[in-house]
Chains A and B, each alone.
Chain A
Amino acid sequence: MTAIVQITDVAKRYETGFEALKGVDLDIREGEILALLGPNGAGKTTLISTICGISHPTSGTITVAGHDVVKNYRKARALIGLVPQEIALEPFETVWNSVSFTRGLFGKPRDDAYLETILRQLSLWDKKDAQTKELSGGMKRRVLIAKALSHGPRILFLDEPTAGVDVELRKDMWEIVGRLKEDGVTIILTTHYIEEAEAIADRVGVINQGQILLVEDKAALMAQMGRKQLRIALQAPLVQVPESLGAYALEIAPEGDALVYHYDSASDRTGITKLLNDLQAAGLMMTDLKTQESTLEDIFVDLVKETS
């Protein structure tokens, strides 16, 4: 797949000396859903702002479909829709006017039928004449999405679209994102929710302290996550794994009172039944069993800890 957004060695330094981005390299592939994970202040929003034109990079280059976002900003920005993190809407403006305004800003001629389609898809059609101040928080967020889609962008940035949103709306949001992907829109979303990335992303990027720590296919990450461990607590501590259990590659826990068995939860045969039988045959008394799996969250937390 070709890269639709190419970010090369982008740094962003503020006048205060704070470095929000430290040499970010990232290729965003056409048609993918990329989830950017990172703690607060990691640089997620700064990265998006720099791509979308809200701030300029201090150094480095960003191209969108080959157009430099600074030198050729008109062509680059015309392809992008942005849903900001904070809800920002003019309170007295109607939904329809607000969405039409954005379309106009992007240089597109009036197209009522197209806007109607978008508003219907986002369940906003019956609210089109309502002033935005009358809407609930979730509805306002939908209006922001409608605005971002009003000019038919090829790339959509969603900056924490589900922060502070109830479960139902979050599911709706995922559905909307899924439909957009089917239409060939490239989607970049930032999120705090690991399960969100797990649920909808094709690739996952982790960013912390202005640096990209990892960008990986979700499938590859899931393969790492698929590994599980079984912890078998024993009545009496062990010094050595009995020879009859050699085939299981068991580890003795540091305190010696438990055995740890690694297995792949995705495979048909995990070997657990056989292991338990053999443990019994070896005369080991078990007091407890516990399974653990490494999640995206563990990987994420480990990565973020390493850098900070």
Chain B
Amino acid sequence: MNLQAIRAIYAHEMVRFFRTLMQSFLSPVLSTSLYFVVFGAAIGSRIDQIENVSYGAFIVPGLIMLSVMTQSVSNASFGIYFPKFIGTVYELLSAPVSFLEIVIGYVGAAATKSLFIGIVILVTAHFFVDLDIQHPVAMLAFLVLTCLSFSLFGFIIGIWAGNFEQLQIIPLLIITPLVFLGGSFYSISMLPPIWQTITLFNPVVYLISGFRWSFFGTADVPIFASLLAISAFTALCLAIIWWIFRTGYKIRS
């Protein structure tokens, strides 16, 4: 294992993050505050409580998930796409580095960044609503797993993407709708029965539901289903990455 290389890639990626720290830090704080103003204060004042949780608090797990998922995908995909785009990928390919080490470096850095953003949102939320996290360990585990699995997913997109449009298209057309329709801002029990059934095909529902359970102890779907979903998604991403590694897909001719 070339640990120096993993460290070099990780540090290199984190330097970019710190170079844009204000942006990395301010944008989640600002958008979270806006969500609280719009959803929490304006709409929340008309919606009393959902499952005995105030609406303002209810949307916190969904908000964190929304940012963590989109940030993980965009950070990780950009991280590996950028060297391909500007040509510096030659260095990774000609260095004594295995594909696994490259994945650990890039995905680890992307997951760290989104974990940081998730925690920033959580802290910001504390200024707006009272939060009492019932299962803090499970909360952290869900958060870390989501950061990791979506960063893996982002890495795959970054390898696959042939241009900037392709880089944006999956987060824009798939991730964002799935998260918004996945119960970030509502309980799926509030939907008409037919939509409740359709929603169950949205994998993000299971992730948000599990994460919300760790906060409030209530969930849309059983907690083991959430665990299964996040594990299955992680396993799927790992399998695709293993396949990329075997075939050199879009990396090495």
Contact = CB atoms under 8 A, between A and B. Distances in A.
A235 interface: no
Interface in A78-134: 78, 80, 82, 84, 86, 88-93, 97, 100-109
Given A84-B90, A106-B96, A14 B253 contact: yes
A47 B93 CA distance: 15
B88 A52 contact: no
A53 interface: yes
A55 B87 contact: no
A53 B16 CA distance: 27
B252 A56 contact: yes
B129 interface: no
A56 B248 contact: yes
A54 B92 CA distance: 9
Given A88-B88, A105-B5, A73 B96 contact: yes
Contacts of B4: 104-109
Q: How large is the interface on B (under 10, 10 to 19, 20 to 34, 35 or more residues)?
A: 20 to 34
B106 to A, nearest CB: 12
B86 A88 contact: yes
Interface of B: 2-5, 7-9, 11-12, 15-16, 19, 82-83, 86-88, 90-98, 248, 252-253
Given A54-B93, A91-B86, A105-B97, 6 more contacts: A75-B96, A84-B87, A89-B86, A89-B88, A90-B88, A107-B96
Contacts of A107: 2-5, 96
B96 A78 contact: yes
Contacts of B93: 52-54
A109 B5 CA distance: 10
Interface of A: 14-15, 52-56, 73-78, 80, 82, 84, 86, 88-93, 97, 100-109, 147
A106 B252 contact: no
A105 B92 contact: yes
B91 A147 contact: yes
Contacts of B253: 14-15, 55-56
5 contacts: A76-B96, A77-B96, A88-B90, A101-B11, A104-B7
Contacts of A80: 94
Nearest to A82: B94
A105 B16 CA distance: 17
Nearest to B3: A107
A137 to B, nearest CB: 15
A80 B91 CA distance: 11
Nearest to B253: A55
A82 B96 contact: no
Contacts of A108: 4
A82 B15 CA distance: 24
Nearest to B102: A105
9 interchain residue pairs of minimum CB distance: A104-B8, A88-B87, A105-B95, A74-B96, A52-B94, A77-B96, A107-B2, A107-B4, A54-B93
A75 B9 CA distance: 20
Nearest to B88: A88
A62 to B, nearest CB: 13
B13 to A, nearest CB: 10
A266 B157 CA distance: 64
A77 B94 contact: yes
Contacts of B252: 53-56
Nearest to B11: A104
Nearest to A102: B91
A77 B2 CA distance: 13
Given A74-B2, A97-B15, A101-B8, A106 B95 contact: yes
